[in-house]
Amino acid sequence: MSAEAKEILTVKEITKRFDDIQVLDRVSLQVKSGEVVVIVGPSGCGKSTFLRCLNALEDIQEGEVILDGEVINPTNSGLSKAREKIGMVFQSYELFPHKTVLQNLTLAPMKVKKVGKKEAEEEALKLLDRVGLLSKKDNYPRQLSGGQKQRVAIIRALMMHPEILLLDEITAALDPEMVREVLDVVLSLAAEGRTMMIVTHEMQFARAVADRMIFIDGGRIVEEGAPDDFFDRPKTDRLRKFLNSFSYESCGQTT
């Protein structure tokens, strides 16, 4: 990532409230092209909500999200255009159960971008091959394992050629032995310079993939920094406590 890489996404002081509950409190952030930003934090801290605000799956009460110089406006008819540029992968895969793997991949490019069927299928097959699932192209989602489904979900997002990819706890629903195959795909995407924002609980993976780490707690960014500083020299007590909760020795010492 070069120092003068252009900014793709700017988040300006966004605030999110569900009725009386403040979930996000004036969160600001900038993401440069090719950057991988990993967000961690205790459950319920607002990190998933933060991702969902970026492509307006959640509305925000204050602030704005700017993608490529354009403000994302939930009431705007251009919202679906903006969403094309923001790929998103969900914890629960959300493949379309009534469509084959291949159809899952080609549906949005064909209907939204009006790409020809042949062209869309060619690209889909290439991507399937890349994640080792070419033989599954005619299967239905229910015939795949969780890890396979999530790999399909990732390349389904890639089919739209997004400028930024949002990954929302994509391994949280997987059996441990399947986590690796999914994270390997993400690592390879990072290696080819994809811009990504990742919410995860896999700390080792986070450290390996991140250019920048962000710790959210209580709806605010509490600490951010390069992965080495973040994990080895946390500046705040709250982050230190949070990181400690992932190592078992510390539990032994405190009891």
Partner 1 sequence: MDLEVIYSYIPRFVEAFWLTLKIGWFGILIAFIVGILTAFAVHFKIPVLSKIAGIYIEIFRNTPLLVQLFFIYFGLPKLGIRVSAESCGAVGLGLLGGSYMAEAIRSGLDAISLAQTESALALGMKKTQVFKYIILPEAFSLSVPAIVANLIFLLKETSVFSAISLMDLMFTAKDLIGLYYDTTETLFLLVIFYLIMLLPVSLIGNAVEKKYRYRMLGQ
Q: Which residues sit at the interface with partner 1, rule CB under 8 A?
A: 55, 57, 80-81, 83-84, 86-88, 90, 92, 94, 96-98, 107-108, 111-113, 140, 142, 153, 156-157, 160
Between 79 and 203, CB nearer to partner 1: 79
The least distance separating partner 1 from the CB of residue 68, rounded to whole angstroms, comes to 14
The DSSP call for residue 49 is H
Least distance in angstroms from the C-beta of 69 to partner 1: 19
Q: How far is the CB of 121 from partner 1 (least distance, A)?
A: 17
**For partner 1, which is the closer residue by CB, 107 or 243?**
107
Ramachandran assignment for 20, one of left (phi > 0), alpha (psi -120 to 50 degrees), beta (any other): alpha
Cβ-based burial of 219 (10 A; exposed 0-12, middle 13-18, buried ≥19): buried
Does residue 140 contact residue 120 with C-beta atoms inside 8 Å?
A: no
Pick from 48, 38, 54: nearest CA to 212? 38
What is the nearest approach in angstroms of partner 1 to the Cβ of residue 89? 9
Question: Which of 52, 235 has the CB closer to partner 1?
Answer: 52
| Long-range contact pairs involving 123-127 (C-beta distance under 8 Å, separation at least 24) | 123/159, 124/155, 124/159, 127/155, 127/158, 127/159
Nearer to partner 1, 36 or 86 (CB): 86
Q: Are strands 212-217 and 220-225 parallel, antiparallel or unpaired?
A: antiparallel
Shortest reach from residue 56's CB to partner 1, in Å: 9
Nearer to partner 1, 95 or 213 (CB): 95
